[in-house]
Structure 1
Amino acid sequence: MKGLKPTVLALCIAGAPPAALAFQPLDETTMGNITGQAGVTIELETKVDIGRFIYTDEGSLSVSDISIGGAERTDFFGYSGLAGTSASDKLDNIKVDIDVYSDGDAVINILPIQFSAVDFRITTGAWELLSTDGSNNQTLLMNNFFAEGVVGRTSIEIDTATDVLNFRGAFAIEVMNFDVPFLAMGVRGLQITGADYDLRRPSPLDLFAEVELDVYRGTRQAGTGDALAIDMPVFRADVGIEEVIVGQHSIGTVFMDDLAVNNTALRIYGH
């Protein structure tokens, strides 16, 4: 079949009697004997723009001009070609491998297609609290959000024995800027790397900060109802800020070496 030309194949199908082309539905026994051995791979290239996102409770939280895409460059943290050789404004070089194993566990691995990191840029406009009672009151929480960085890998596993979704990811943010107008504050040049990344002896192997989350159906602290449970066993990173602005003037820089957040548990539910 490999050498059969498409035109010849089309003629063979066209000339076949209707009975030869009839499809028989598979019974449950036959379907049960069919197993996928290699899983599914999806290669992804995308750019997402959202004019406005609004969450409404009684009042509303509005985020405008959201854009998620590529950083349009390949050099990060002084490493030329860390994000490949082709600059683009799209999230690309992404491969999604999906496998469902014999025990029912599902695993999704999100990896680079080529041996390089996946670059990203996230920007937004105003983050606002808006009244809905006719008073027209509003508060500008944040504005001019901008972040660029790289992702090394991401994996998601759903364990059927425990009903827990486990998320693992590796990322580094080279620059993040934003303003907080209602506090007269701003942040310039926020950077997040792995806790073992040494600026005096930099190595790309230590660049990425690792994060792991367990997500599942949990209970509230009072034990009176269900909640979305998110547990983070440990998160370690180095965090630096080039410039902290208060009242339109810089008050200096900040660096946190080997920041560790341990045994964090969130329970989220409506009220």
Structure 2
Amino acid sequence: MKSLKEIALTTAIVAAPFTAQAGMKILDDSIMGGITGQAGVTIEMETRVDIGKLTYTDAGSFSVSGITLGGAGITTAGAVAGYDTLLNELKVNIDINDVGDSVVRVGSMATQNLSAWGGSPEVPAPIDWGLNAKTMALTSQGGSQSTILLSDLGGYGNLSQLDIVVHNDGVGSLQLGVGFNVVDMKFNVDFLGIGIKGMSLMGIDYIEAIAAQPEVEDMLSTTSFASASLNVYKGDSLGSSEAEGILRVDVSDVSMDLVINDVIIGGSNDDVASRSIGSIALDNLVISETRLAVYGH
């Protein structure tokens, strides 16, 4: 029997404000206060992007080929779910507040009806996205040898919000906050003989909600979001290193539930029936107090 606590969990997720579901508040009151009443710029957009090959070259090279970014419908699973192939219903608001910070907010123009689940009939809908990539490979200098790392990557999900702030603090810094999910993703790790199928990244409490009420899975695909908040700036290195003026990334929070329905060993994601060893779930995964220092050598 389901406890009242378990049943109430799903209701709470639906009833929560949309940005609160993403666990994110990057624009504090001082930043928002500075843009109230300002005449900024709004850009509405729909698009699809195809890239034949993206290559990073050092001595040898790393490349990603056959990249497509668009709506969820560019993937097989997204098309079955009825999504369009365009990245659409996307709105970008751009403002510069009274202290000179550039504030960019990316959100959706569409709404969704959650009244059947105890929510509002007009809740902001997320922006559905889809991503395909044929191969990711390492290639030797001159191209005589290559190793395929990943292949047949395809996944779709939703973006609930993206906040970008460039602070006017003398040296400048970039603050990012995002609410997102991955509803379904598959790929092969070719050089290890591993296939991944049915991978999802959702918000904290997703696993508990599905366990309590399996019938809400479709609804949670557009209301449950992982969150990430980070700062990017120029700073000094970590620990004993003496490097200065390098790229710094401080991750204050990444929160999610992760589920992989099938891990295939000794095959590809097409071999679920014969080679799957089962599923994996990470409940309430939180990454915090993480700092990165990045520079060339």
Deviations 1:168-220 (A, max 9, x none): 11111111100011011111011111012221245748601111111111212
**Residue 138 of structure 1: aligned partner:** 146
Higher helix share: 2
**Residue 262 of structure 1: aligned partner:** 288
For 1:128, the aligned partner's letter is A
Shift of 1:60: 0.6
- Following superposition of structure 1 onto structure 2, how do residues 1-271 of structure 1 map, counting pairs within 5 Å? 37-72=38-73, 87-115=83-111, 116-133=125-142, 136-161=144-169, 163-197=172-206, 198-199=209-210, 200-201=212-213, 202=216, 204=220, 207-221=224-238, 222-248=241-267, 249-271=275-297
**Residue 5 of structure 1: aligned partner:** none
For 2:162, the aligned partner's letter is T
**Residue 27 of structure 1: aligned partner:** none
218-227 or 208-217, larger mean C-alpha shift: 218-227
Q: Whose radius of gyration is greater, 1 or 2?
A: 1
> Per chain length, whose mean CA-contact separation is higher, i.e. which structure has more relative contact order (CA < 8 Å, sep 6+)?
2
Distance 1:210 1:228, change over 3 A: same
Counterpart of 2:73 in 1: which secondary structure? coil
For 1:168, the aligned partner's letter is G
For residues 92 and 137 of structure 1, what CA distance do their matches in structure 2 show?
40
Percent identity for Structure 1 against Structure 2: 34
For residues 229 and 137 of structure 1, what CA distance do their matches in structure 2 show?
34
TM superposition score normalised by structure 2: 0.72
Shift of 1:157: 0.7
Shift of 1:245: 0.8
Counterpart of 2:53 in 1: which secondary structure? strand
TM superposition score normalised by structure 1: 0.78
For residues 262 and 102 of structure 1, what CA distance do their matches in structure 2 show?
31
For residues 181 and 125 of structure 1, what CA distance do their matches in structure 2 show?
12
Q: RMSD value over aligned CA atoms? A: 2.2
Gaps of 5+ in 2: 1-36, 112-124, 268-274
The number of residue pairs the alignment matches comes to 226
For 1:184, the aligned partner's letter is G
Gaps of 5+ in 1: 1-35, 81-85
For 2:101, the aligned partner's letter is D
For residues 72 and 245 of structure 1, what CA distance do their matches in structure 2 show?
25
Counterpart of 1:207 in 2: which secondary structure? coil
Counterpart of 1:260 in 2: which secondary structure? strand
For residues 220 and 167 of structure 1, what CA distance do their matches in structure 2 show?
21
Contact persistence 1:226–1:269 (CA under 8 A): no
Shift of 1:163: 2.0
For residues 85 and 228 of structure 2, what CA distance do their matches in structure 1 show?
26
Shift of 1:133: 4.4
Higher strand share: 1
